[in-house]
Amino acid sequence: MPRFGGRMPRIGPASSKETLCLTRSEAASRRSHSSSNAKLDYRHGCYTRGRAAVAMLHVQNVSKLYRLYRRPSDRLTELIPFVKHHPPSEFWALRDVNLTVEPGEVLGVIGPNGSGKRTLVQIVSGILAPTRGRVIARGRIAALLELGAGFNPEFSGHENVFLNGEILGIPRREMERIFPDIARFAEIGSFMERPVKEYSSGMYVRLAFSTAIHVDPEILIVDEALAVGDAIFANRCVKKFEELKQRKVTVLFVSHDLGLVKRLSDRAALMLDGRVAAYGSPSEVVNRYVGLVLERQGKGETVEATPGGTFRHGDGASRVLEADLRDSRGASVRGLEPGAPVTIYVRARAMKPLENPVVGVLIRNRLGIDVFGTNTRIEGVDLGSVAPGEVFEVEFTFDCLLTRQDYTLTVATQYAEGYSQDWLDDALSFTVADSRDVAGLANFKTHVAWRKVEQAEYEHSNP
């Protein structure tokens, strides 16, 4: 699960302008060539100018270098001529990062710890200046980066809300108008008048998120959202994200919750070692990330792109030869009806001696959200010993209880410990057709019974 953060709220600029984050050398050059009609204000490596017509983010060739000194005194001795010192080592937190977020688009950023996600959002928010490159941000930015940052712990929640309104340049009368909405969404009750230092982490999140979304941002940047709040609040935040999308608010958010990234994002970016390793549809980027995670778990796995544009990974101890979806007559199908029996057929070949290999299947909806998955280990089926070159087949049969939409099927062969031998993402796609407009993902066989209750019977049962 992701962790919610909040540079609460580190927002800039206070009015709707265009912001360009540059290096200091670029800024000096810009200042020397700027005219009085195009006056630019340099702050923390960012320029602000003119009101923009739309909210948009452009990250252009951004790199961030940190110099790591052995001792604090080395910083000083480095500046003194003819004094021996240990040169610092260089650590590039970001290297040549390029991203574009269009108006109303949600871009999810994923990746392992230390991949540069936090540094990226701090640069986009204007907290850090890039070593190279620039960020162009058009519109008011609301950034939630670190839990509780920006709150005065001695102030009450009520006072902190108005303090942040002042930081944003929002008139007090306007803050008074929206404060009831902020309090209603945060749902922290009487604690709104208590000092923030008494808040739990969940209460911090509620107030931080509620404040940020009600100050009418054009660009919202969130680092590790929704992890601290409970399930009810997380669900409300997800709905709020969807509402922001409808209002054409541009959103850049970092999360370790891969399901949430696939649900909310229009596009996704995978960060690895300070670089963008994959960029595209959320489902494909998440699949690539999962494959790379398994590859790094020490099983010598390889990752390759499939003709369909998704990825397969594994150590090659076995190989999936065929995956199919079949009806009750054994015919291959790609269209199903609710309630009809369906069989998932998987055929694989052992490339090495195997002891009780595991075969699994996973169904996802069109957004890439996991709907149903099982395997031979879960079902209590032991495949025994398989010699190299032997082919084995597995069939999973069940009634189709899915609602009307498009789905994909992922198949895999694995070890009992869960490491992949051959994992094939989105091996095939299929559609469930239904005349009924059932909500959700599951389509249970439902029997409805009803009757009218006489007044005397009602009064007797409810005295």
Tokens describing residue 56 = 């948009």
60 CB neighbour count, 10 Å cutoff: 18
**pLDDT of residue 171 exceeding 60:** yes
Is the pLDDT confidence value at 61 over 70?
Answer: yes
In what helix (H) or strand (E) does residue 26 lie, and over which residues does it extend? helix 24-33
Lowest mean pLDDT among 84-93, 106-115, 202-211, 295-304: 295-304
Give me the count of residues in the chain.
463
Position 303 scores a pLDDT of: 55
Given this model, what pLDDT does residue 52 score? Answer: 41
Asked if residues 222 and 251 have their Cβ atoms less than 8 Å apart, the reply is: yes
Percentage, residues of the chain above pLDDT 70: 81
The predicted structure's pLDDT at residue 141: 83
Q: Which pLDDT belongs to residue 365?
A: 87
- Fold classification of 10-280 is Rossmann fold (3.40.50)
- CA–CA separation, 312 vs 342, rounded Å? 24
Two structure tokens written together for 210: 């509620």
Predicted structure pTM score:
0.69
Sheet with 41-43: list strands edge to edge: 41-43, 46-49, 18-21, 132-138, 56-68, 89-101
Count CB-CB contacts under 10 A for residue 313: 25
User: Residue 206: helix, strand or coil by DSSP?
Assistant: helix
> Averaged over 56-83, what is the pLDDT?
85
pLDDT digits (tens, 9 = 90+) for 299-358: 545 555 555 546 788 889 999 999 999 999 999 999 998 899 999 999 999 999 999 999
Q: What is the mean pLDDT of the chain?
A: 81
Q: What pLDDT score does 232 carry?
A: 73
- Is the pLDDT at 178 greater than 60, yes or no? yes
Q: Which amino acid is at 337?
A: E
* Band of pLDDT at residue 379, cut at 50, 70 and 90: very high
Query: Cα separation of 31 and 22, whole Å?
Result: 12
Q: DSSP for 298-339? A: TS--EEEE-TTS-EEEE-SSEEEEEEEEE-TTS-B-SEE-TT
- Is the pLDDT assigned to residue 176 strictly greater than 80? yes
Interval 225-272: pLDDT, tens: 566 566 677 777 878 888 888 888 899 989 888 888 888 899 999 999
Determine the pLDDT at residue 4: 33
Residues 288-298 have pLDDT tens digits of 888 787 666 64
**Higher pLDDT residue, 75 or 444?**
444
The tens digit of pLDDT for each residue in 381-406 reads 999 999 999 999 999 999 999 999 89
Average pLDDT for 95-111: 92
Task: Note the pLDDT tens digit of each residue in 408-436.
Answer: 999 999 999 888 899 998 889 999 998 88
Interhelix angle 201-214/231-246, rounded to 10 degrees, is 20
- Mean pLDDT of the 182-208 span: 88
Q: Is the pLDDT of residue 51 over 70?
A: no
Is residue 15's pLDDT more than 50? no
Out of 45-49, 253-257, 364-368, give the one with best mean pLDDT: 253-257
pLDDT at residue 49, as a whole number: 41
Residues 314-329: tens digit of each pLDDT: 889 999 999 999 999 9
Residue tagged 């007090």 (tokens): 172
CA gap 120, 307 in Å, rounded: 32
Domain ranges of the chain: 10-280, 310-432
Q: Which CATH class is domain 310-432?
A: mainly beta
19-32, pLDDT tens digit by residue? 455 554 554 444 44
